[in-house]
Structure 1
Amino acid sequence: MALRTKVKYGLSAAMLALIAAGAGAPQLLDQFLQEREGNTLVAVRDNGGVWSVCRGVTRIDGKPVVKGQRLTQSQCDHYNAIERDKALAWVNKHV
């Protein structure tokens, strides 16, 4: 049944377990983005030609991510958390 649930809803077993455990929005978003975006320490260009790093971060301290830019896992954790919190604040304000 779990396999059918994943196919039907597109959620991984990890996401379903977090939901069943009553995880909060930050944990759910972190898991979802990790699965969908991955986390890269070296800048990559997306299909639209935009450079990003970590889990899709396109700006670091107000400056665009550039080709060859590298971050540590600790830095990615920091910037990923900032982006996650901004996204959740937007949802809380508009939904």
Structure 2
Amino acid sequence: MSQTDPSKVVLPRTTKGKRPSFFADPAIDQMMTFIVELTTEVGVMRERLDTVERLLDTQGSVTRASLEAYRPDAAVEAERAAWRDAFLKRVFRMHSADR
């Protein structure tokens, strides 16, 4: 299996076709899109903050280079996955089958 260099992947700038719709009211689709995008950003910021905290604990300081170079081990990934699962369950609890 060949590896593709992610920096060489070019995605189209525009989508083709209509946006998918899941609700009868387009405003609800827009609101759900906003909530999903915001939830994604919060998750990314949470992981970045976790990285900063871990680097401060181990190194006492943080540089942009050390932040970008950090690679979590399996235990950290498991902690983050557990946090992410709980976070998504809280955010989307109204859409859960067992609410």
Same fold (TM over 0.5): no
Structure with the largest fraction of helix: 2
Larger relative contact order (C-alpha < 8 A, sep ≥ 6)? 1
TM-score scaled by length of structure 2: 0.28
Structure with the largest fraction of strand: 1
TM-score scaled by length of structure 1: 0.29
